[in-house]
Amino acid sequence: MSQVKPHTLSGFMELLPEEQNMMERLLDTLRRSYALYGFTPLDTPVIESADVLLAKGGGETEKQIYRFRKGDSDLALRFDLTVPLAKYVALHANELTFPFRRYQIGKVYRGERAQRGRFREFYQADIDVIGDGKLDIMNEAEIPAVIYRTFHALGLEKFRIRVNNRKVLNGFFAILGLTEQAGDVMRTVDKLEKIGPDKVRAILTEDFAVPAAAADELLSFISCPGSSADKLSFLETYRGRNDIFDAGLTELATVVNYVSAFGVPEANFEVDLTIARGLDYYTGTVYETILTDHPEIGSICSGGRYDNLAEYYTDRTLPGVGISIGVTRLFYVLQEQKMLSEEILTAPADAVVIPMGADCTAFAVETATVLRAAGVRTQVYFEERKFKQKIGFADRSGIPFALIIGSDEAAEGVAGVKDMATGEQRKLAPADAAAYILSALEARKNCRVITD
Amino acid sequence: MSQVKPHTLSGFMELLPEEQNMMERLLDTLRRSYALYGFTPLDTPVIESADVLLAKGGGETEKQIYRFRKGDSDLALRFDLTVPLAKYVALHANELTFPFRRYQIGKVYRGERAQRGRFREFYQADIDVIGDGKLDIMNEAEIPAVIYRTFHALGLEKFRIRVNNRKVLNGFFAILGLTEQAGDVMRTVDKLEKIGPDKVRAILTEDFAVPAAAADELLSFISCPGSSADKLSFLETYRGRNDIFDAGLTELATVVNYVSAFGVPEANFEVDLTIARGLDYYTGTVYETILTDHPEIGSICSGGRYDNLAEYYTDRTLPGVGISIGVTRLFYVLQEQKMLSEEILTAPADAVVIPMGADCTAFAVETATVLRAAGVRTQVYFEERKFKQKIGFADRSGIPFALIIGSDEAAEGVAGVKDMATGEQRKLAPADAAAYILSALEARKNCRVITD
């Protein structure tokens, strides 16, 4: 028979079972955390009509998109979860209740140049709150709580949610007389962390004709030191000079004001005036989240407020606020940084029942049935092998408990329950074995995915 | 701005929030049930190299597959989860522990002619046990238990798992002297339920030159009445005439013998000699599962034993046994038959906190934070609307509890907790409200997805 060499495409993550179990725990934690905040799960097709996905069009998207024909149809794979959400909300607006809060965790596709740590197929985990016509600022104030609880539930402690407000920046640019260059200025400011203040200053003055004094004031403005409260006080000194600025400052103050009522510790939150998040989409609060010990990784959860989700599909004004976690990249980074818990249970089962001979099979099956009914994830090792190989199976698969059943045990109605980590063994009836295993594993099952 | 009409491609399921919540419960039940049997979750790319996916090639697959180029690459979307599994196991064989038990729930793609109830993108939920070189018959005996527990956990009672053994059929065809026509005979027998015995007899004798006496014996054989035990006794009368038949009969007897030890009630299981399951893939036990009140729907969970999973990728012999549930179609059918539970909680949240004025917002946020910490899925309704519209929100979104917070309540540190179904209202402190809501919803949260 002619054979094909099995391979997985470059840029496509495919995990081994232990890793996949860890990923499942991560995804499950995201689902639970998002659901706790009243976001409803959504699922949309991976394939959409190309005209729908490319309604906005332009730029990197068109280059990277997977687009193809099938019969008469011009199709494409979704490259994010925001465009499908816009389509969904525009299409089903009359059947939804607003504000509409949804989460979606799904694969998206971008034909990027392959490079280490970059994926062409990757999971995004998004939440958005969509209003009908308008949306209260308090929805923006709630987002840091969702981010905090989500990463806290994953096991992270050393992270910081940074917020800013686009109106504050745009208003300040107007105060400096830079409204015309606002886009260029915003893009340049976004590079501050990467290239440093000197280069930012040079680009502003040389490339975008920003007067030196304005560039200096801008740099000193965004680098304002101190706590979030200090920064708000500093911003108040500019109040009254521009309406957009004032509106943004009031919004930012509201977000800061409610952070602790929402349960976010001060250490995990800060106002950061350098955050701009791209150019034309966001219109209010913007968010980034960094690992404080690994700022070089960049933001692991970003988003912001936008004024009109679905303008390419409907005249209905649908403002919203949302954030996105690039899960596949996050998982990759956590693996690289050895930040995934080694305590967590990644075995395919909690227990393996091993009948030592054909006469023990029936009791082994009954034992497994009791364990499963009690909620113990159980395999039975049915293969005819030597004793050593049978026990070796539990070891190789990392299954924490082996229940060895020989003729004597079967006759007695017990199993030799072996703790594979300690080697300790005790004879227990099936129901007792189930209780013993569940109790022994309780701590490991509640273990969080990440250690930092 | 030029707009695109938002639409979802025909043949692609896109659910409204309540339906999606139901689907999530269904998928979650499958994951838990599969995991309980020691299957490890797996995830493989949706896109694979076309040469990998089409290694076997031929027939309907090539016609239906979504295949396209990106740069220099010839790519395709997976059309099932078995071929990606074969690739995965061949590629990672040295890193896996055998028998390798995996489950995978994921979307697959087939460009079928669009018609009602047929989907081009649909979820499959598969389990497989893969042996290295050989695999004990007990693995085949365990599969009905997984099927039973899975559908039982979903809430189904009126279903029956039908099993047969391909060796029994092939051996019997040999006894009748029909080895040469075995494939044609198998395909014809497969149509028995659809076209009836007379037409089967006519096709066998007229199209495939089966002697009339052989056709009669074949029809009487496969229509053998009685219990599974009766059928085994009947089959025993043929023992000793063909080795393949004898081996198949021993396997079938083993499967039947262990069914009750695995916890499968007799009413949910039967030997059915008419089941053939296609032609060339399966080599031992085969499975189908029907809804006893809706046999017209056909099998909702099928599979069987195969001798060589990955022969197109590796010389290593990898026998296995697996089953697959077509989840999207199952969900569609359950909706059609109105078999989805109306008791189940499909709201985006368990509770919505409604501050009646700006001075109540802080306490509303604190209340929501307490509820969430206790595990109550909670929204806060922040929009400035009239009282009636605020309460109307809880109603429209189907959220079972509204916590109304006016100035008096905020001052007292309580909320007016309204049971939206009964209209009953009580004043409770946040922690008491959490306990009350969790206890009131316990029954609905444990509710099963399907009612039959």
* Beta strands B351-355 and B401-405, pairing class: parallel
* Beta strands B47-49 and B121-130, pairing class: unpaired
Q: Which two tokens stand for residue B302?
A: 């099928």
Q: Which residues partner with A402 through β-bridges?
A: A352, A418
pTM of the entire predicted model? 0.96
Instruction: Provide the sign of the torsion angle of the four alpha carbons B378, B379, B385, B388, taken in this order.
Output: negative
**In which residue are the tokens 């006794």 written?**
B233
Tens of pLDDT, residue by residue over A352-378, are 999 999 999 999 999 999 999 999 999
Shortest CA distance to A141 belongs to which of A235, A271, A11, A49? Answer: A271
Angle between helices B166-175 and B212-222 (to 10 degrees): 150
Pick from A309, A397, A401, A420 the residue to mutate for testing the B interface (most B CBs within 10 Å). Answer: A397
Strands of B131-281, DSSP E = 159-165, 269-271
Residues of chain A contacting residue B381, judged by C-beta atoms under 8 Å apart: 99
Give the chain A residue whose CA is nearest to the CA of B133: A383
Cis bond before residue B17 (omega within 30° of 0): no
Tell me if A132 sits within 8 A of A101, measured CB to CB: no
Contact A40 B23 (CB under 8 A): no
Contact B66 A68 (CB under 8 A): yes
pLDDT by residue, tens only, chain A of 452 residues: 689 999 999 999 999 999 999 999 999 999 999 999 999 999 999 999 999 999 987 777 888 999 999 989 999 999 999 999 999 999 999 999 999 999 999 999 999 887 888 899 999 999 999 999 999 999 999 999 999 999 999 999 999 999 999 999 999 999 999 999 888 998 898 888 889 999 999 999 999 999 999 999 999 999 999 999 999 999 999 999 999 999 999 999 999 999 999 999 999 999 999 998 876 789 999 999 999 999 989 999 999 999 999 999 999 999 999 999 999 999 999 999 999 999 999 999 999 999 999 999 999 999 999 999 999 999 999 999 998 999 899 999 999 999 999 999 999 999 999 999 999 999 999 999 999 999 999 988 889 999 98
Distance CA A235, CA A317 (A): 31
Contact B373 A263 (CB under 8 A): yes
Distance CA A256, CA A163 (A): 9
Q: Which two tokens stand for residue A357?
A: 């001979």
Nearest to B4 among A41, A51, A349 (CB): A51
Tens of pLDDT, residue by residue over B224-267, are 999 999 999 999 999 999 999 999 999 999 999 999 999 999 99
**In which residue are the tokens 């149509």 written?**
B191
Instruction: Provide the sign of the torsion angle of the four alpha carbons B340, B344, B348, B353, taken in this order.
Output: positive
Looking at the complex, report in whole angstroms how far the Cα of residue A261 sits from the nearest Cα belonging to chain B.
5
Contact A37 B372 (CB under 8 A): yes
Nearest to A45 among B12, B262, B352 (CB): B12
Cis bond before residue A99 (omega within 30° of 0): yes
**In which residue are the tokens 């919540």 written?**
B21
Shortest CA distance to B141 belongs to which of A66, A447, A362? Answer: A362
Shortest CA distance to B322 belongs to which of B261, B277, B256? Answer: B277
Secondary-structure breakdown of chain A: helix, strand, coil percentages, each rounded to the nearest 5: 45, 20, 35
Shortest CA distance to B42 belongs to which of B300, B329, B322, B328? Answer: B322
Residue B220: in which H helix or E strand, if any? helix B212-222
Distance CA B221, CA B235 (A): 9
